[in-house]
Structure 1
């Protein structure tokens, strides 16, 4: 039995904190080189205890297998502007030496029946504790802003209806998912023009002391999962 959830979740929180810093650092490296960053912003969270317990019941996860069988206790999301950026980010993660990719699920190409699209990566990440190294499972979801908007709405409605949507709501969600992906496709068609415009805008923009880098990170934090 997990007697102290705060103690149990501490390594997961450390993993999320470290990964957010590293992934946001990747974005800064592209910006420093005046290149388009495939990473728009990064959020992260540790799954709340109530959600862990609910999922244990729903997925029949035994408590002594919790660390091995529940892959998303630590969760990160990487938001991208374009669908193409998703696969650039995936390739960047594959090349990293500070994490091991255990599983990949491409729901961008292989869209779920509900209309859900995202790229899921399960990693093993080492955190250094006072008691030694502990390898943590974490899930990284990579998606566009449009995909994230749809998924956030669908997630909220899922709670309201307990996972069983009325037919009219289900149909509307599927149409909305199609429309959201159509938007992504349209943006991809003019991707080069958009990136050129953003480069010109960034070059000509005068520094604003109110928009310092620490404030940008605070803005990212406000959008955490």
Structure 2
């Protein structure tokens, strides 16, 4: 083992993970704002532990001086999706980016592993601006569904327990579980539109409620206390009866009242 300063060695990777997490989360927010649906459900990231780096270097016969190029997943990003089709859309979005360069891709969804592992991997060259200048690091971006991620997390834990030598009965059970997860993804894809309609409907209702309560609070700010209190009572009654249509009408009425209050305050 060489005498490198591992904290300094890993710093660009840590920076890359943090920057990429922010960028993909921002992408999700922008897509939701533009299209009301984003293929990205959530994003996580991690930097490999030193012990894991050393173990992988030993397993792959990577010399210590070649770790930066020989181990491609020191920096890792996971992007979770609701549906299998979303994975390919996310991969296309990543390919189109100018702030990272695709080195190569591995499609373990179409060509899943014998173990049952399914995921889409993209190795990217990511430029990190450090105190010493520009540093290009390799990072692995895994794009998968929630079901794929659940299975992969369990498999990883079992492989750690059994040190990559899973008992045959456990291996077979994992394969069956992988098939069940794949079937779940297929069923979810079959009712994709129904799921999306329900989610969009829920989000619209949530946004309307937030708007109503915010506007009522703003009426209090303009000292329209009696009017605000009456709107609050009406909202409480409609919410109790789950009358979504009437709540939308009330939202418009409160919005108009707020506009009048603003005009009068500016005179």
Q: Could you tell me the TM-score, scaled by structure 1's length?
A: 0.90
Give the Å deviation of 1:34.
4.4
1:41 aligns with 2:18: no
* Residue 105 (structure 2) pairs with residue 104 (structure 1): yes
Conserved? CA contact 1:83–1:184, under 8 Å: yes
The answer to whether residue 242 in structure 2 is matched with residue 207 in structure 1 is no
For residue 183 of structure 2, give the secondary structure of its aligned residue in structure 1: helix
Length, aligned pairs only: 208
Instruction: Give the RMSD, CA atoms, in angstroms.
Output: 1.1
Partner of 1:188: 189
Q: Equivalent residue of 2:40, what SS?
A: coil
Q: Distance in 1 between matches of 2:172 and 2:12?
A: 41
Return the index of the structure with the highest Cα Rg. Answer: 2
Instruction: Encode CA deviations 1:106-143: one digit per residue, 9 max, x unaligned.
Output: 00110100000000000000010111100010000000
* CA distance, structure 1, for counterparts of residue 183 and residue 195 of structure 2: 17
- 1:151-189 CA-to-partner distances (Å, cap 9, x unmatched) read 000000001111111111111000000000000000000
| 1:31 CA displacement | 1.6
CA–CA distance in structure 2, aligned partners of residues 83 and 152 of structure 1: 18
Counterpart residue number, 2:19: 18
Where relative contact order (Cα < 8 A, 6+ residues apart) is larger, the structure is 1
CA–CA distance in structure 2, aligned partners of residues 65 and 3 of structure 1: 13
Q: Tell me the equivalent position of 2:236.
A: none
CA distance in 2, matches of 1:170, 1:129: 44
1:170 aligns to what? 171
How far does residue 33 in structure 1 lie from its aligned partner after superposition?
A: 2.1
- Between the aligned partners of 1:192 and 1:147, the Cα distance in structure 2 is 21
Write out aligned runs for 1:1-225 (5 A). Answer: 1-205=2-206, 206-207=209-210
Whole-angstrom distance in 1 between the partners of 2:81 and 2:127: 26
Q: Which has the higher helix share?
A: 2
| Structure 1 unpaired stretches of 5+ | 209-225
8 Å contact kept, 1:2–1:8: no
Q: 1:163 & 1:70 partners in 2: Cα distance? A: 18
Q: CA-to-partner distance for each residue in 1:28-86, whole Å, 9 max, x for gaps? A: 01121242110000000110111111111111110110111100000000000000000
Q: Which runs of 5+ in 2 are unaligned?
A: 212-267
